[in-house]
Amino acid sequence: MTKTNDERLLDKKITRRQMMKMTGAGAVGLAIGASGMGGVLKAFGKDILEDQSTVANKVDFYGKHQSGIATAVQTSIYFASLNVLVTSKSQLQDLFQMWTPLAVQMMNGDLIGTASENALIPPKDTGEAKGLDANNLTITFGVGPSLFEKKELGLSHLKPKELQDLPHFPKDQLEETFTGGDICIQACADDPQVAFHAVRNLIRAASGKVSLKWSQAGFNSIPLKNGKKETPRNLFAFKDGTENPITDNEKDMNEVVWVQSGDSKPWMAGGTYLVARRIQMHLETWDRTALREQEATFGRHRGSGAPLGKKGEFEAMDIDRKDANGNPIVPETSHTFLAKKANARLLRRSFSYSSGVMDATGTFDAGLLFISFQKNPKQFIKIQNSLGRLDKMNEYITHRGSALFACFPGIKKGSYIGEALFNTL
């Protein structure tokens, strides 16, 4: 009797499971071509699936929330937005299941693949991170609005109402090259090659299942004072991220960052929304601007990061303060004044970038890969609308790219990335 395609596929999966058991492939851990179903995941050895607590400069993969959000900011990022090529929900599920042990391995500071390599075929790992430790690598995964619009995936009923393309804001000059995407991978580390290696190998392992839509590398320099990390500066030399919520304060993070049960679709509980904006900073114009004007543009002192008229970086930004003549001390058109006026908060986790020149004039293509996390995209939208056309910063920046992603909640041991989404009926 002729078998259906589904029956042939089932036979193929059974044969592969049996083969793995017979050869012991599941015990050593990394069959990149494996289907990634639950049984295969359980076949991976515990030494690969578990966080290795003894590893130097190690951030845990497993936890209540994904890493790379509340984690202390690192010095490097490689951010990638991907298009999905798979054509069914089960294939998409396989993709995330296949990625899970790879992410654990790389966050443990290991190369992917087995200890012995066959010299007659390409190595499983590209190898450029060999000899480097974990370097506080974090890998964060999210899904974009367009993923749920692919009819063949059958996910439209699981799309959160909050997950919509961001509206067009005043002064936006977005380029399709740096906009949108079905899936994002944010890899951050204290070494740029470690961050790039993580994204490169995840995409390589998913060959034929995803394609790269756009990507951006970024960097931070984090000063140390008395052994304590200070707020990094952007390419305009001002501190970036001063008024972030306290990441180890559960109440603060629940109010600002983490989606609570009942806030959105059930699979989003414990997750968050990631906004990515590629912002070109017109360095040549800024460099011709007087310091006093620069500070009036930000609403802060460049040296200390303190609000204008104050001395400490973390002193309250009181936008109602007036000088002796009754004029606002913090200008009403300053970036900080307008952002504060919006009365909305978010967690900034931005990085600077420099990607050559924009055109034949030699203008820097440099700026800020703005990344923020919030429990509802409305928080970002409210601030961006408040900045509007009034923001004096608009003279010096242009928004070139934009994307919004829903980041999954954390992954439990024995589970996989995005399991709550795929287990929702």
pLDDT value of residue 390: 95
pLDDT value of residue 5: 45
pLDDT at 9 over 60: no
What would the pLDDT profile of 39-70 be if each residue is shown by its tens digit? 344 433 434 479 998 999 999 999 999 999 99
Contact 270, 250 (CB under 8 A): no
Split at pLDDT 50, 70, 90, the class of 114 is: low
pLDDT value of residue 137: 98
Cβ atoms within 10 Å of 315's Cβ, excluding its own: 14
pLDDT at 425 over 90: no
Question: Average pLDDT, whole number, for the chain?
Answer: 89
The residue among 100, 94, 88, 93 whose CA lies nearest residue 35 is 94
d(CA 276, CA 211): 19
Round the CA-based radius of gyration of the chain to a whole number and report it: 23
Give percent of the chain above pLDDT 70: 88
Q: Which two tokens stand for residue 206?
A: 């998913």
Name the pTM for this structure.
0.88
* CA distances in angstroms from 341 to 62, 233, 321, 336, 386, listed in the order given: 37, 23, 13, 8, 7
| Domain boundary assignment for the chain | 50-421
